[in-house]
Structure 1
Amino acid sequence: MSTAPRRGRLRPTRIAALLLLIVPILEVMTLIAVGQAIGGWQTFFLLVAISLLGAWLIRLEGARAWVALTQALQSGRMPARELADGMLILIGGTLLLTPGFLTDIVGFVLVLPFTRPVARRLLETVISRRLIAQSPYLGMVSGFGDPGVGPESGRPDAPRRSPPSGGDIVEGEIIDE
Structure 2
Amino acid sequence: MRFSIVPFLLLAIPLAEIATFVVVGSQIGVFPTLGLVVVTAIAGSILLRVQGFGVVRRIQETMNDGGVPGRDLVHGMMIMVAGVLLLTPGFVTDTLGFLLFVPAIRDAGWSFLRNRIVILGGAASPRSDRASGRRRDPDPQTIDLTADDYSDTGNDRSPWRKPDQD
* Identical aligned residues as a percent: 36
Aligned partner of 1:99 in structure 2 is 89
Aligned partner of 1:42 in structure 2 is 32
- Equivalences for residues 22-171 of structure 1 within 5 A: 22-124=12-114, 127=116
**Per-residue CA distance 1:93-117 (angstroms, 9 max, x = gap):** 1101100000011111112334322
**Per-residue CA distance 1:104-153 (angstroms, 9 max, x = gap):** 1111111233432223333436x35xx8xxxxxxxxxxxxxxxxxxxxxx
Q: Please give the TM-score of this superposition, normalised by the length of structure 2.
A: 0.66
**Per-residue CA distance 1:66-112 (angstroms, 9 max, x = gap):** 00000011100011001100110111111011000000111111123
Q: Please give the TM-score of this superposition, normalised by the length of structure 1.
A: 0.62
1:110–1:116 Cα contact (<8 Å) kept: yes
**Per-residue CA distance 1:25-59 (angstroms, 9 max, x = gap):** 11000011000011000000011111111110000
The code of the aligned residue for 2:53 comes to: A
**Structure 2 stretches of 5 or more lacking a match?**
119-166
**Structure 1 stretches of 5 or more lacking a match?**
1-6, 132-177
The code of the aligned residue for 1:118 comes to: A
1:88–1:120 Cα contact (<8 Å) kept: no
Return structure 1 stretches of 4+ with deviation > 4 angstroms.
Answer: none
Higher relative contact order structure (alpha carbons within 8 Å, sequence separation ≥ 6): 2
In the TM superposition, residue 17 of structure 1 has moved relative to its aligned partner by 1.6
